[in-house]
Copies of this chain bind each other. A is one copy, B any other.
Amino acid sequence: MNGYYGSQMVSLIEQLSRLPGIGAKTAGRLAFHIISMSKDRVEELAQAIVSAKDNIKYCKRCCTITDNEICPMCADKDRDQKIIMVVEDSRDMAAYEKTGEFRGIYHILQGVISPLAGVGPNEVRVKELLDRIKEEDIEEIILATNPNVEGETTAMYISKLVKPLGIKTTRIAHGVPVGGDLEYVDEVTLSRALQGRLEI
Using a CB–CB distance below 8 Å, which chain A residues touch chain B? 1-9, 11-12, 14-16, 18-22, 26, 28-37, 39, 41-57, 64-67, 71-73, 89-91, 93-94, 97, 111
Contacts and interface: CB of A to CB of B under 8 A. Distances in A.
B53 A49 contact: no
Contact of A32 (B3, B22, B91): B91
Given A57-B6, A65-B9, A94-B1, A35 B21 contact: no
Most chain B beta-carbon neighbours within 10 Å: one of A49, A54, A55, A111: A49
A132 to B, nearest CB: 19
Count of identical protomers in the assembly: 2
Given A4-B90, A19-B33, A42-B53, 15 more contacts: A4-B97, A5-B90, A8-B65, A11-B51, A12-B52, A15-B45, A20-B30, A20-B33, A21-B29, A32-B90, A32-B91, A34-B49, A35-B52, A35-B56, A42-B49
B94 A5 contact: yes
Contacts of A72: 3
Given A46-B46, A90-B4, A94-B1, A52 B19 contact: no
